[in-house]
């Protein structure tokens, strides 16, 4: 890419990321001379922000909710769908549907072991059709040089990502390195591309990373006192505040009744929301002790941590293992017959899963459901083998020199000591090989950590995105320019002469 060219960017303005994305655009405009931006937006609230803010004038904005509304009048074109499947299938188009919880699960409903999709098969095809056609036309009209977004958690983003890739447009998403609060920009939806590039340079070309000492120090400290990444704080159920909740409910009902866009997937019926909250609160207060088993670290066991769901960790990266109950059965039956399988619930899921879920879990002969208060690190230390879908526990267990098996596409599969199960009938042999022949490679892990530290930016992105920082807080964050500099470097942008001159004056 010619660094002097007046590049054009497409920002995926998704919910709270609309504020961060707009602030990124402002930095690229003021410091890197990028003057043109367009946007793909999720939620009308984000659209309102994009239209009223004064920092960036978007050439065009495409709202996902407007596209979804069109499917009702869309006439199904089977030939067009088949053509799309030939061009963009993986190898079919089902992954585009399966990763979108609003399409396949009815996210507005309460958690269900066997969810009923809110759309018919034909409606799903029409949704695919209208979004593929509209997004492709949008990209062909706007012709951005690069796309910036967050995770690919819905059908529209996944379509945009794959169509942009096919058109040769650079795409970048933010992903966590699962260590501390490090954030990386990756141009591949299933790996940390920058980390892999550095890691390969270290392993194949004898590149010396300046972060090697940091990696060694991190490993020593982690083993002495293991701690989860900064973003992984456990969620707690908030206390009931009757007056405040009643006021909120009344306002929600009033807003819903006067909302002209009730058909939007992001608009929830307040009555259903209230009923779900009541159910979740009741579950959070139930006695789970009767379902828990006390860990016995003198027995041989494998460890499986349940994922929070629905999330892209399963729906995008491991769609054929998203049914965790079924997967647990398969793991239990693949272990040596004397082994137990210790399962630990994700603390945030206790209020979502119905009691029937745990009853089904307890029917599996060798499975023990351990209390959520049990330290995951203690379980890892004493387990003979750790099994995860794509969870961070897999990487942390590797730091503790444990054999790991994963079931999904996750960036730390790059490590040779981690084995991914691609076909479930291979699992018994895979487990036996990991138990009998596992050889830990400290050098490889140090090199991989060095690459994560070198590629990642220490930035509290999750705090600003998930917890919701204001637009002004985002722009004034001391690390934000460094954060954007890393992105600009990956895109191939050079700072403008004026920004370099001002930076020199400040120093």
389-414 pLDDT tens trace: 999 999 999 999 999 999 999 999 99
Q: How does residue 262 score in pLDDT terms, banded at 50, 70 and 90? A: confident
Pick from 64, 480, 33, 95: which is nearest to 319 by CA?
Answer: 95
Q: How does residue 242 score in pLDDT terms, banded at 50, 70 and 90? A: low
Pick from 171, 212, 184: which is nearest to 457 by CA?
Answer: 184
Residue 11 and residue 29: Cα distance in Å, rounded? Answer: 13
In order of 304, 314, 407, the CA distances from 323 in angstroms are: 14, 9, 12
Residue 374 and residue 295: Cα distance in Å, rounded? Answer: 8
Residue 108 and residue 267: Cα distance in Å, rounded? Answer: 9
What average pLDDT does the structure give for the chain?
Answer: 92
Q: What is the 3-state secondary structure (H, E, C) of 254-289?
A: HHHHHCCCCCCCCCCCHHHHHHHHHHHHHHHCCCCH
pLDDT exceeds cutoff 80 at 320: yes
Domain ranges of the chain: 8-197+456-506, 242-284, 289-452
In this structure, of 91-100, 205-214, 228-237, 257-266, the range with the lowest mean pLDDT score is: 228-237
In this structure, of 56-70, 93-107, 456-470, 478-492, the range with the lowest mean pLDDT score is: 456-470
* Interstrand relation of 36-42 and 418-420 (parallel, antiparallel or unpaired): unpaired
Q: Give the list of residues 6+ apart from residue 477 with CB closer than 8 angstroms, or none.
A: 459, 460, 464, 469, 483
* Interstrand relation of 61-63 and 36-42 (parallel, antiparallel or unpaired): parallel
Residue 416 and residue 448: Cα distance in Å, rounded? Answer: 11
Instruction: Determine the pLDDT at residue 4.
Output: 41
**Overall average pLDDT of the 430-445 stretch:** 98
Helices (runs of H) and strands (runs of E) counted in the chain: 23, 13
Pick from 124, 14, 28: which is nearest to 61 by CA?
Answer: 14
Collapsing DSSP to helix, strand or coil, 305 comes out as strand
* Proportion of the chain above pLDDT 70, given as a percent: 93
Residue 364 and residue 266: Cα distance in Å, rounded? Answer: 37
pLDDT exceeds cutoff 90 at 269: no
Instruction: Determine the pLDDT at residue 104.
Output: 93
149-170 pLDDT tens trace: 987 889 999 999 999 999 999 9
Cis peptide upstream of residue 91 (ω within 30 degrees of 0): yes
Residue 462 in contact with residue 20, Cβ under 8 Å? no
Residues paired with residue 176 on neighbouring β-strands, in sequence order: 183
Residue 30: alpha-carbon gap to chain centroid = 30
* Interstrand relation of 8-14 and 146-149 (parallel, antiparallel or unpaired): parallel
Q: How does residue 249 score in pLDDT terms, banded at 50, 70 and 90? A: confident
- Kindly report the length of the chain: 507
Residue 386 in contact with residue 403, Cβ under 8 Å? yes
Instruction: Determine the pLDDT at residue 67.
Output: 96
CATH class of domain segment(s) 289-452: alpha beta
In this structure, of 194-208, 230-244, 386-400, 462-476, the range with the lowest mean pLDDT score is: 230-244
């Amino acid at each position: 890419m010619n660094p002097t060219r007046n590049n054009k960017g497409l920002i995926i303005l998704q919910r709270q990321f609309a504020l961060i994305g707009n602030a990124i655009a402002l930095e690229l405009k003021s410091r890197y001379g990028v003057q043109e931006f367009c946007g793909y937006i999720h939620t009308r609230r984000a659209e309102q922000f994009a239209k009223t803010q004064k920092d960036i004038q978007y050439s065009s904005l495409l709202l996902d909710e407007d596209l979804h509304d069109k499917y009702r009048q869309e006439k199904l074109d089977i030939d067009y769908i088949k053509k799309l499947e030939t061009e963009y299938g993986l190898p079919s188009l089902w992954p585009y549907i399966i990763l979108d919880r609003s399409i396949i699960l009815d996210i507005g409903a309460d958690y269900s072991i066997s969810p009923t999709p809110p759309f018919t098969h034909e409606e799903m095809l029409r949704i695919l059709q209208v979004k593929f056609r509209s997004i492709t036309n949008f990209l062909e009209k706007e012709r951005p040089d690069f796309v910036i977004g967050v995770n690919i958690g819905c059908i529209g983003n996944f379509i945009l990502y794959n169509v942009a890739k096919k058109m040769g447009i650079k795409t970048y998403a933010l992903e966590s390195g699962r260590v501390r609060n490090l954030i990386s920009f990756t141009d591949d939806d299933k790996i940390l591309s920058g980390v892999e590039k550095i890691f390969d340079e270290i392993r194949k070309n004898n590149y010396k990373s300046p972060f090697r000492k940091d990696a060694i120090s991190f490993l020593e400290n982690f083993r002495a006192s293991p701690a989860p990444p900064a973003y992984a704080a456990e969620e707690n159920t908030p206390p009931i505040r009757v007056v405040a909740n009643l006021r909120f409910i009344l306002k929600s009902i009033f807003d819903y009744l006067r909302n002209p866009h009730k058909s939007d997937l992001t608009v929830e019926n307040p009555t259903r929301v209230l009923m779900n909250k009541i159910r979740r609160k009741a579950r959070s207060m139930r006695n789970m002790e009767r379902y828990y088993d006390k860990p016995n670290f003198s027995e041989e066991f494998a460890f499986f941590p349940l994922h929070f769901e629905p999330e892209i960790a399963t729906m995008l990266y491991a769609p054929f293992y998203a049914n965790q109950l079924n997967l647990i059965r398969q793991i239990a039956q693949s272990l040596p017959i004397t082994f137990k399988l210790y399962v630990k619930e994700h603390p945030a899921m206790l209020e979502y899963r119905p009691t029937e879920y745990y009853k089904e879990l307890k029917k599996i002969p060798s499975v023990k459901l351990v209390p959520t208060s049990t330290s995951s690190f203690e379980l890892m230390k004493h387990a003979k083998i750790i099994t995860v879908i794509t969870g961070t526990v897999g990487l942390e267990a590797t730091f503790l020199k444990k054999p790991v098996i994963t079931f999904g596409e996750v960036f730390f599969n790059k490590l040779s000591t981690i084995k991914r199960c691609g076909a479930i009938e291979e699992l018994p042999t895979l487990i036996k090989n990991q138990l009998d022949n596992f050889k830990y490679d400290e050098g490889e892990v140090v090199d991989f950590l060095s690459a994560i530290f070198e590629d990642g930016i220490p930035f509290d992105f999750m705090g600003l995105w998930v917890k919701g920082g204001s637009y002004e807080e985002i722009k004034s964050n001391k690390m934000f320019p460094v954060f954007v500099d890393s992105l600009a470097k990956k895109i191939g942008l050079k700072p403008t002469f004026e920004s370099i001159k001002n930076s020199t004056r400040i120093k």
